[in-house]
Structure 1
Amino acid sequence: MITARDDLRRTFDSLPAGAGAASWWGRAWVAALEGRSGDAARLGRGRAYAEDGHVDAVTVTPGRIVAYVRGSRARPYRTELALTVLTEEEWDELLEDTAAQPAALAALLEREVPQALADRLLPGVRDLVPHCSCPDVGRPPCKHAAALCYRAARLLDEDPFVLMLLRGRGERDLLDELARRNAAHAARERPVADVDLPGVPARAAVHRTARAPLPAPLDAPAVGSAPAYPDERGAPDPLALDQLASDAAARAHALLATGEDPIAGLTLWQDAVRLATAQPPTSGLAASTRALYRDLAAATGRSPGDLARAVSAWRQGGSAGLRVLEEEWDPPAGPFDRARPALLAAGRGPFRPRRNRLSGRTSQLRLGRDGLWYAYESEPDEEDWWPCGPPSADPLTALASHR
């Protein structure tokens, strides 16, 4: 369920391809920023940045669109475009006009910007205000802001409700309000007919009726150990066969009890890590465990060391922890700006930032897509990071948990 608060913040990890706007309102958006720039070369570089995929995840909130744009240095630049939010009085007039005009309402429901309302929604030449953390002190926009503008135009092509959000209203709130106003207009315009309509009395429609109870579900069978394979030449490894049979029985039991497969959707590598994690941590030196790691690693094209590190990540945070181990990404604006000062204030710095990672001499924090911080450790000044400690929404708590 989308709440009103969730509706006012949208992040787009995957953006439509290209940098050229396809819709007339997308081109109007681009023209608003291009109109305030006299530097065609800078705009051209911004368009090239957009086409080459230099703009990472885009976050849209009322009055602001923010993204990290990768330029010539390792850490991307924080870039934003600001647009004035409409007042309550302006929104009231715009919504009333939309609800009263069937063509405007139909265009909006078809995810188009109504021509009749364009002047009040689309920005003018001086309405879009760019900001960027890059050192370019020339006349705005810089090439990073231009790149964000071109990519945002492609978002507007696909979903004009992004423009509504920039002007201050989320899609769910906007559609609910338009439905209410449109119904009010229709009620005022439609005469009441004095006719008998077919139907049933309201009391009969909501009257409770007794229904026969459903039969009790069958008892789930007990879960036991699968028999080991006989010790024959060329036979599968008994430990591996026993583990796979037991795992299949546990999955079947879960399906019978809950109707859901607990590992549906896992890749071959993720499932191999999950199977290896089923071995108790204290059995890491046993010959049987080493054989299992060797076979699982060979089946997935990885090394036993890769598998051991992945098992540590899985024990740290499940499939989300494994994703944090293997994926670098550029998070939306905010988390690093809050985390780094907090770490320095607590005497835990300095940390070097790189994408979603903050690295020190022996400690590292990685921000997952779930909003949690995952702690890693290494020998001093080495880049051999291993997961350690449970994740936390607070970077200091995550960092302290493994000490």
Structure 2
Amino acid sequence: MVEMEHIVQKLEQTLGTSLGLKTLNAQEAAWLKESMTASQRHGNRIGHHNVEEALGSIFRGERETSRKERTHAGAYEYEALNEVWIPVNRQDPVRVIVADRNVLTESEIGLITLLLSSIHETSPGIVSKSSVKVEDERRAQQLGSWLKERLQAGELLAELPDELLLRSSLTEEMVPFLLINESEHAPTPSYKALQRLLKSYFDGDIILVPLLDKEWIILANQELLDGITTDDKEDTPAEGDQDLLSLFCMGLYELVSTEWVGDFHISAIPAVNALHALPQTVGMLRETMTIGRTFQVKEHIHLSTGLHLERLVYSIPEHQRNQFLREYAAGHTDLFEDSETLSTLESFFELDCNVSETAKHLYIHRNTLLYRLDKIKQETGLDVRSFSDAVLVKITLLLYKVTKRK
């Protein structure tokens, strides 16, 4: 594969001139496109220089010193930076070869332009694909910076401004995911590698936006998820959207954690309008991640649709949580320190207080489970087989978790 970085290095060695490779911002790209259009109208081209003339002038050591004698066909002087830009791909002028405006001669510009044309003819699409990948990352970083600024300012309902380059790629119904890697020593996946992996899993284009270090937001069109979960819907028609989203996140987590070693976590919420209040969406994803990791310590996938009661408990002020524990659970919180009791209660509540199903899930005899529940009743005075008592124990358990984590 032809890499532009390698080509620029070879050109530097051949010409004995300092060159660079630059990705333009939106304002610079707009100026370059306008300049290219104007040069085409006025016929300012270097086409009358053939390859032999360009090479001959270079190796004879001829250098034009007067700018008035030079024809910048294929190159454009950006006076604000005192630079000369040569578009890598004239069809998509986002990346340019850059040099000091007084360094390159007309013949050298001709050689570079002819070389780039030759590359496009012999390897169509290679350079443009590389340019597109770089542009994708630059646009994602631009959106990520805007989101961080809005979140820091507390502007959660801010709408995307028109100047954001990724705005045209967002739709009114996209499913957002938040991916975090908390490994201290494991290497962070590069943007390109992560984007490539996600596209292969979603089987289509997705929006990957870097936020904080080792934190990314993923936006996928609802149609991509519908296509992937079609088989799941046919096999399990009774499952709801939460279950399908959970299955999808499980596959995504397994893919990422298998590809890279690390402690990854994923949070997700139902489809949102990505054009409006995107900062609020990021805030909800982060909150879901925090709440999920507070109450579901061993889990790596956290869905907002399965954390309603936990979200309510988390919103209670700390002093009120402590007061509740003192009044209703005084002397009983030690019960939650016992791993066997804790796993029994969590499984019992997760399975809708069904004794038989809980015993099967824990791989214990039904009488063993009843013995454990009776022991909890003796120590707390609360029978979790009773609805009102079960609610009280459940809330106490959640309050204990969030207070302990704090």
TM-score with structure 1 length normalisation? 0.23
Higher relative contact order (CA 8 A, sep 6+): 1
| Higher radius of gyration, 1 or 2 | 2
